[in-house]
Every structure is written in C-alpha cells, then in structure tokens.
Amino acid sequence: MSLKIHVRTTVNGEETEFLCEGRQSLLEALRDILGLTGTKEGCNDGNCGACTINLDGRIVDSCLVLAAEAEGKTILTIEGVASIDGLHPLQQSFLEQAALQCGICTPGFIVAAKALLEQEPDADEHRIRHWLAGNLCRCTGYDKIIRAVLDAGAVVRGAK
Amino acid sequence: MTTTVERPTESQRRFKVIGTRPIRHDGLGKVTGADRYGADVQLPGMLHAKMLRSPHAHARIKKIDTSKAEALPGVKAVVTSRDLPIIDDKPIDLAETLGNPRVLAENALASSKVLYKGHAIAAVAATSPHIAEEAAELIEVEYEVLQPVLDVREAMKKDAPLIHEKLTTHEVQRRFTRGDDTGVISNVASHLQFKQGDVADGFSRADVVVEREFTTVPVHQGYIEPQASTAQWAPDGHLTIWTSSQGSFGIRDQTAAILGIPQSMVKVVPMEIGGGFGGKIGTYLDPVAALLSKKAGLPVKIVMTRKEVFEGTGPTSGSYMRCKIGARRDGTITAAEFYLAYGAGAFPGSPVGAGAMYGLAPYKIDNVLIDAYDVVLNNPKVAAYRAPGTPQAAFAVESTLDELAEKLGIEPMEFRLTNAVREGDRQVNGIPFGSVGCVEVEEAIKNHPHYRTPLNGANRGRGVAMGFWGNGGMQSSATINVNTDGTISLITGSVDIGGTRVAVAMQAAEVLGLAAEDVVPTVGDTNAVGWTGITGGSRTAFSTGIAAITAAEQIKRTMAERAALKWETQPEDIEFEDGVFVSKMNREDRLTFKEIAASMMATGGPITASASSNPRQVGVSFAATLVDVEVDRETGKVQILRATAFQDVGMAVHPSYVEGQMQGGTVQGIGWALNEEYFFTDDGTMANSSFLDYRMPTSLDLPAIDTEIIEVPNPGHPFGVRGVGEVSIVAPMAAVANAIHDAVGIRMTSLPMSPGEVLKALDEQQRAGK
C-alpha cells in the first residue's frame, strides 16, 4: 500500500487539506474523502460531464484529474455555487424552467454554464449548445436546459 | 417558491392547481448538489465491492477459484452463485416485464454458464474500491468457450447453438402469460399470435400492397447514473438496502425472493434516482451487496462502471420484422400482416408482445395477422426501455405506411386520418378501444404551423409518424398527514425520476383547495408506506395520483365531520368550496381548511388518511413526431433541423414536466434513429461500451424540440390524466426515416441510420440510376 499524499487546496472558498492515494481521482477525493457528493460520476472517463468542476477558472471533468494535482489549486463545485444570499441565477432559472428531470446531470450543467456566463453573459443559443456539448443529459432533450441558461444570462447581464 | 399560472384550454378552467407550473418541491436539492443518489451513500465502516464479469459471450464455467482474491490484504468477503440459495421458478409481477427470481439470481451471479460478455460471476468487498478491483482480477475462472449466437434470425435456425439446453417454445395466447409448452427445444422462448378477420381476403381486395423487411439492433436506456446499491445485513437478520431504483417494493420483493427470506426482513430505502427509463426495474446488485454484507458483517456498497452498465444491464431488443400492408385506391387499409422476432438477450422476456399489440394500433384494420417471437441470444438480458418493444414495431409499420401512401398518391396525414382508430374500434387482440385521441393528435399535426410551413432547400425533407402506448395502471399507496398550520405532508411509495412528487402533490392540493406549496411530498421507504408499484409504465402521475386524490377525499370527509360536530349538523350537509367548509343549513357557518386543521387536536385528534389505488380504466396514449432533416450527400450525416412532438396527455398536471417527457422521449428516439447501437464483434464483445463511442445525442446535435399538448380526458382518472412518460419515444425513428426519404428518396429499413448506412443507401440509389 502506497503512502498517502498530502494535498492543500481551496474548495468553494475554504482552505482545505486532505490525504489521498496517488491513484485516486479528484472526483474520488471530492466525493469520498471530502464528502462533497454533489459532483456526480456518470462514466469516469470524461465523456458525460456529470463530474464537471471549476479548477482555477477552467471547467474540467474531475474524473480525469488526479487528486494530487489539486495541490495549490482553487476548486469550485456545485456546493459552492449558491451563496448565503441565495441561489445563483442559473439555479433559480433551472428550477423555474423545469430544466431538470432526474437531476443527476444538473450539477455538471450548472457548473459548466456558470463558467460560460461569467465570460459571455450574452451567449446565444448556438454558443450555449456548443459550450454544453460535453455534458450529457438523457432526460430533457436539452431544450429546457438551453432556455434556462439563456434566461439566466439575461439575469446575469442585468437585462431581466 | 413561485407559481406561474397559465391557463391553456377552456376545459381546464375548473382547476386551480392542475395545469399550473409550480417549482418542484425537490428541486432545490438537485440544483445545489445536496440530494443524495445511489452512489452517494456513506455508512460507518462501509466496504466497497466490485464484480468479476465474463470475458466470453457464451461459455461453460468449469471452475472458480477465489483463494488468491480472499488472501489480498483489505479484502473482507468474496461471493459467487454458490452463496445464493436454490430457489424455484416463480414469476413476480414487475409491471412491464415478468420477473422470475431464479432468472434474476442467475443474471446477478452466473452459476454453470455465462450467457453474455459482462455476465457477473463473482463479487469482492474490500476496504477500498481499488483493492476490490485488484482482488476481482485475482479470481481464476476456467471456461469452456462456446460459440455465441448474436443475431435473431441465426438464433432461430434449426442448427443454431442452444443458449439454454432445455428451453422449449411456448405458444402464448395472452401477453404476460407463460402459455402452452410445445416441448420443442430451441432458442425461441415463445410465439404469440394475434388474428382478426381474414388477411388473404383482405389483401385480395387491396389495390396496392407494400411489404418490407426491417432490422434494429439493441440500444441502451442511457441513464447517466450507473446502478448503485448499498446493503447492510444486521446480525438479527434485518437487511436494509439503499438504492436508486424505479420501485423500492419491486427491489424488496425481488431481493427477498432471490435470497429466500421474508419480505418483512428487507427494507429498501429509496435514494434519488439518476434516470431509469425502464432499466432500473430489475435488480442486479442488491442481492450481491446483501450477500457480501452478510459475509463481511459490514455495510457494502457496489457501484457499476459505465462499461458494466453497457455490458451488464438491460439494453432493449434488437429485432427482425416484416410488415405487409394493403390498401384500396380510396385510401382504406384492407389488411396487414406483421412478423416480429425480438432478441431477449440471455433469458426469455423480450417486449415483443407490446410491439405486436401496439405497432398497428393507430389504424382501424379489420384483417390482421401478427406473429411475434421471443428469441434468446448471447446478449445482455434485455430490460424495459420507455414503451418497451413498441418503437421497433412503429419503425416498421410507419415506414411501410409512408411508402404505401406514396404509392397510392395520397398525402400521408390524409392516409392516416382515413384509417385512424376511434373509440369502440377493436385492437388487434379484439378488445375495443376506450376513449382515445388518435384523430385529435392527427388533426393537431395538420393544423400546426410546423406542418403548414413549407420546407425549402436541397436534400431537405419532412417526415411524420404516429406512436401508441398502452400505459400502465398498477397499484400505489399514499398517506396524507394534516399539520396544525393547515399544510399537509404527503407520503407515497413512488420514486421520483422526473417530477412526480410535484405532479402527485398538485392533485392532492387540487382536492383540498391548497396551493402546491402547502403540500410536502416525501417518497417513503418500504416500511413507511403501503405497497406501490414501479415508477414506470407511465403510471405514476396517473395511479399514484389516484391514491393521493382518494386520501385527500378522506381528509376532506374527516374535516367535514369535525365541522359538523361544531355546528351540530351532519357531514352530508357541509359543502367544500374554494378551501372553505360551509354549512348548507346556515351559510354563515364557515370554516377554512386552516381553521379546522388548527383546532384538530380539540375536535378529535390528528387528521390523517391513507389510500391505495387499483385502477381498472387506464388511459392509453397516442403521440406523433413531425421532423425536418437535411441529409449531407457527401458524408451521409443526417441533421435534425426542426422537430415537434405531439401527444394526447389526457390532462397536463404540470405542463412543464409533461413537455419535458415529450422532449426527452423524442430525443431518445432521435438518438435511436441516427446514432445509437450495440456494436458487437463476432465474438460477442460490445465494441463501443463508452459514452464516447455509443454516442447519445448532445445539445449540439439538436434543435429546440417543440411540443403540442393535446388533452382528450381519460375517463378513468378524476381529473382526466393519462400517463405521459413513454409514448414520445415511439414515433421518432419512423418519422426520421420518412423525412430522409422525403429529402433524398431513399428508404432506410435498418437502425441506426448512421452516416455509413445512409451513404451506402445513396450509393445503391445512384447505381440503380434512380
């Protein structure tokens, strides 16, 4: 059995330390070591986007990142999207537009869409469809998700 | 929470809550990541387990040696089929499929033979998933490899290798029955026939007859959450299972039967479920996790990998079909003959009966002959998938019909309307339809802006197809507890896969004059609520809705009794309007729901009610897909330009979630039409067992999916509700095929209509000089 690795990182604004094995993915560390189970595993090979997190400002599939690689990095997971003041416009919009059915893909979609709206709050339908093509949803057919992101974009840029 | 009120139709004016779009009660936990799904269970001391699965599609197991795995540090238990009790064949009702515990046990852990690549053989529980995985690889299995049978027509041949040495063909008279044993040993598990009128006479009166062959291959439900189960078998014999399934009672009953223990010793706690579409009705992991827990004395969690989900859980059937339809010049269909052979995978039980019953359902045809065969293959055992068995049949029927309309020179929608079924027309089993919305759906298509807007451009085409699904009824239970502040809690046994908490709560709220937000819906475990069937068969908003309505009516009666006590009158003399109880004797005597709730401890104690449903009159559903495509002649790629889903929903309880079902089913159908397939190599290995290679539709592959809700009320539900979950997947494949024909003149008769297949058909067309 290998010696565990000590990792120091910032998760959802909190300085966080954990011990992991060299073979553990960041997804495993978040879920099994830190108990942040809002980030979901759908495929464990980077094809579904259910484990999307924001790592130093970029969205990544956390199943494709080793836990040890998080050393010194800043992580945002779905648990850090809402604040004490309330839900993020995307979360509110997903609820109002019924943009989720089973909800297993929802955390990944919201984390991915949040990164888009921070750069391009006026992203149009095609841009959103392109940006979210790495996140699979099997329930909705994407229609209501796209509408929810368009709607949240309007809120983020103050048009609604 | 906010409520958006929107009143689409005149008939809905009588409702206050039904037809509105409140935010779902469980939404917050899903947009914040707080909700816990199957794999999110963490228990003190919990072990992690992994399965060993067969590398061969067909082989005899000669020997299993688990000693090296057991010796690995960190390993706490290893199980194989030897740890399972010997049980009898005794089918249990799983709603859309019959479950045989012996088969389920054999599928969960193979004993003497492996029947598909990925068939589970053993499981290991260890202190980490990585150790469990290492240990599983240390299990040594000696195989005698046999020739696999992968194709339905090959499997039906007389000299085909036998998958089950003792399987005999049954002649089935009625769906969901075992039928008469013919004693003939083959890979054909059953033959089912429907016959009405005289087909030879019918075809002799036809001016044009079209007969075509169709093939489809297995496709997977594709839920994003892999199967997961956590079990804790306590020393006193009580077994608790935390799992994300489509029905906690189904998992409890299957697990108890497989393990040979009383149902009272098993408690199933429903976790949130990340999609199912029929694939999470049967048990795979629960009895295995239980056995490991018993051996290790600790809780055990098993989570499948995506590869295991593809290789080890239910796809739906691939098929071979032959469809022959004849009609007169005036557009009247005179006869139809339909042959269907569906692959069941490793054990009998394909949904071919539904395909046989429902493929021709939208049409009134007096002379019909349908032969349906259930055939075992060395594929994973098929599981239900959204309107199981019907999309394949509709692909054949609706494509044949489109060609027939073309040959007759009749506009396809006119042709369909000429032959559309109405109330009282007989189904292929001779039983007349009740209230149906077939004509209404077809009229809605003709009047829709999508249909009325011409489609311009080269290589572009438009297609339409109808779909039918019988919907499920089954039993559900609900309990309502009134709180002293006038809110209520609603406990049901129906797991919520896509908004049924809110849809059922809205029905209780409607009865009690409450807002949807005044109801707190909870999904109870199997010890907390009455027996409830699966969330499947499009039955939850319908049947669990009826249970909730019935419980709410009881609450209303109890409240009227409390008011009658106070006013010294009879409960019959009290009316309930707009949330207020009013005495007919003295209209000044008025008490609101909240006031009676506030005083309930003084007027007789807590007000609670439990009710169960057992509906007899299930509302069936018609639907249609209208689609525009563009075919790239260079690459063979088909792009969906526009799609509209039409569906008779009876009464839309929460229109947003009804639209969501219509859109989701349509897109699964588009995936089935264009991309998705189990691609097997000759040795029976699925060569594309990842999401990347299986290629379900992404957001970029699709346009907006428009919806047209049609409401022909179901007389079997107090508010007219029909099931809405499944029928939307039935029509898309044929609609896309018909659109491709309209665009470039080729008839695609095999699924998927992937770029390579489309190119091949275009090449043939060019060679034929058409």
Q: Note the ipTM here.
A: 0.98
B437-471+619-770 shares its CATH topology with B474-613: yes
pLDDT of A145 > 60? The answer is: yes
Q: Which of A:31-50 have CB within 8 Å of B?
A: 31-32, 35-45, 47-48, 50
Per-residue pLDDT for B716 more than 80?
Answer: yes
In this structure, what token pair is assigned to residue A90? 């995307």
Asked if residue B183 lies in contact with residue B207, where contact means CB atoms within 8 angstroms, the answer is: no
Tell me the average pLDDT of chain B: 95
Residue B89 has pLDDT above 90, yes or no: no
pLDDT class of B12 with cuts at 50, 70, 90: low
Residues ≥6 apart with Cβ < 8 Å to B733: B391, B394, B395, B465, B669, B672, B673, B751
Question: CA-to-CA distance for B263 and B330, rounded, in angstroms?
Answer: 60
Helix, coil or strand: residue B750 = strand
Contact B660 A87 (CB under 8 A): no
The model's pLDDT over B672-687, given as tens digits with 9 standing for 90+, comes to 999 999 999 999 999 9
- Which helix (H) or strand (E) segment holds residue B194: the answer is strand B188-196
Q: Could you identify the residue written with the tokens 């990998």? A: B305
Which of A137, A39, A133 has the alpha carbon at shortest distance from A80?
A39
**Of B98-102, B286-290, B518-522, B669-673, where does mean pLDDT reach its minimum?**
B98-102
Q: Tell me which residue in A82, A87, A142 faces B699 most closely, judged by beta carbons.
A: A142
Residue B2 is predicted with a pLDDT of: 38
Domains, in order of start, for chain A: 5-80 (3.10.20.30), 89-156 (1.10.150.120)
Percentage of residues in chain B with pLDDT exceeding 70?
Answer: 96
pLDDT for position B486: 97
The answer to whether domain B474-613 has CATH 3.30.365.10 is yes
pLDDT at B607 over 70: yes
Contact B31 A132 (CB under 8 A): no
CA atoms within 13 A on the CB side of B207: 10
For B224, the closest of A38, A48, A132 (CB atoms) is A48
- Of B342, B293, B324, the residue nearest B155 (C-alpha): B342
The domain at B437-471+619-770 falls in which architecture?
2-Layer Sandwich (3.30)
Would you state the structure tokens that stand for residue A66, as one six-digit string? 């080793």
Containing B199, the helix (H) or strand (E) segment is helix B199-204
Residue B7 CB neighbour total at 10 angstroms: 10
B93 falls in which pLDDT band (50, 70, 90)?
low
- pLDDT, average across residues B197-214: 98
Strands of B555-701 (E only): list them.
574-577, 580-583, 590-592, 608-613, 621-631, 638-648
Asked if B343 contacts B155 with a C-beta cutoff of 8 angstroms, the reply is: yes
Interface of B with A in 487-516 (CB under 8 A): 497-499
Half-sphere exposure (Cβ direction) of B380: Cα atoms closer than 13 Å? 33
Measured in angstroms, the CA of A71 and the nearest CA of chain B are apart by: 22
How many beta carbons lie within 10 A of that of residue A14, not counting itself? 9
Q: Which residues pair with B618 in a beta bridge?
A: none
E-only strand ranges, B569-617: 574-577, 580-583, 590-592, 608-613
Nearest to A98 among B277, B656, B667 (CB): B656
Q: For chain A, say whether B75 makes contact (Cβ under 8 Å).
A: no
Q: Return the pLDDT at B11.
A: 52
Residue B176 confidence (pLDDT): 66
* CB nearest B698 (choices: A101, A106, A136): A136
- With vertex at residue B147, the alpha carbon angle to CA B142 and CA B152, rounded to the nearest 5 degrees, is 135
A89 in B contact zone (CB under 8 Å):
no
* Eight-class DSSP state of B696: P
The full length of chain A comes to 160
Residues 6+ apart with CB under 8 A from B692: A45, A47
pLDDT of residue B4: 42
Report d(CA A145, CA B61) in Å as an integer: 48
* pLDDT band at residue B179 under the 50/70/90 scheme: confident
- pLDDT tens, residue by residue, B49-81: 999 999 999 999 999 999 999 999 999 999 999
Tokens 């009794």 belong to residue: B561
Bond prior to B299 in cis (omega within 30° of 0): no
**Nearest residue to A140 via CA among B222, B668, B353:** B668
More confident residue, B85 or B199: B199
**Alpha carbons within 13 A on the beta-carbon side of B414:** 9
Is B220 in CB contact (< 8 Å) with chain A? Answer: no
Cβ contact A67:A28 at 8 Å? yes
- Average pLDDT of span B725-746: 98
Of the residues B311, B510, B659, B726, only one is catalytic, namely: B726
Catalytic, B726? Answer: yes
Phi, psi of B377 (to 5 degrees): -140, 170
On whether any CB of chain A is under 8 Å from the CB of B27, the answer is yes
3-state secondary structure of B412: helix
Closest Cα partner for B375 from B151, B115, B189?
B189
Domain boundaries, given as residue ranges, for chain B: 437-471+619-770, 474-613
Contacts of A32 in chain B (CB under 8 A): 42
